[in-house]
Structure formats: C-alpha cells, structure tokens
Amino acid sequence: MTIYIVDDNHDLVEFIGCVLEEIGYTVHTFTHPEDALSHLKESHVQSGTLITDYNLPAMNGYQLHQNIHAIAPDVKTIVISGRNVSGDIKKLPFLQKPFSPVELIQLVREAQEAP
C-alpha cells in the first residue's frame, strides 16, 4: 500500500515516513500540497492513503483532500494538526499532534479498512 504524506514540517514528514516504511509501506513525501497534487495527477494514482497536515501553504489539508478526491476518489485521507480541527474536516480521520508511532500506525490501518 502506498502512503502520501504532506506537511510543511520536513522533520515530521521524515518521522512519519520512517515509521510507515519500517512496517512495509511505500511512502511518498511532500512539503507543499501543490507538489503532492501534481504527483498524484501525473502518476494517475487510483488508491492509497493521504496523510496531510491541516495547516499548509496555498490550501488547507481538507481542501487538498477535496482536490485529490476529485481525481482519485479511492485515496483515503487522514488529517493531522496541532489543534483539534475535527469540526473543519467533516468525517475524515483525525490525529492530533503530538502522536506516537503506535497511534499513527493504528489510524492508518483503520483508515485503509474503512469502506
């Protein structure tokens, strides 16, 4: 399974990427939402999991989700943030920073199993 990570905090992108690669996921990391969106469009991505920060340059994580969902509706989205933004992201899975590797892995697995 492929994971797409978008966060403007390079250290956090590396941390999440390392955690998920260690358990066998293929990971693509981005520090800008436009780069992630371009990659998914150009690669004709059909499925996978997007882990995105809510507070991003150019668009927020929910807007990124909407843009990606329009071109790849089977990509699952998890939103992360340092503040509770669950009211702003509809019913998307949410993980508040700071979080542990165990919490991250559990939420990724739950998101992938959801219909």
In tens, the pLDDT along 15-40 reads 999 999 999 999 999 999 999 999 99
Please compute, for residue 81, the number of CA atoms within 13 A of its CA located in the half-sphere on the CB side: 17
- Global pTM value: 0.96
> What's the CA gap between 90 and 43, in Å, rounded?
27
How confident is the model over 49-108, as pLDDT tens digits? Answer: 999 999 999 999 999 999 999 999 999 999 999 999 999 999 999 999 999 999 999 999
For residues 49 and 111, the answer to whether their CB atoms sit within 8 Å is: yes
Could you give the C-alpha distances from 99 to 3, 25, 62, 74, in angstroms and in order?
18, 19, 20, 26
Q: Give all strands (DSSP E) within the chain, no chain letters.
A: 2-6, 26-30, 47-53, 74-81, 94-96
- pLDDT computed for residue 114 by the predictor: 83
At residue 9 the predicted structure's pLDDT band, cuts being 50, 70 and 90, is: very high
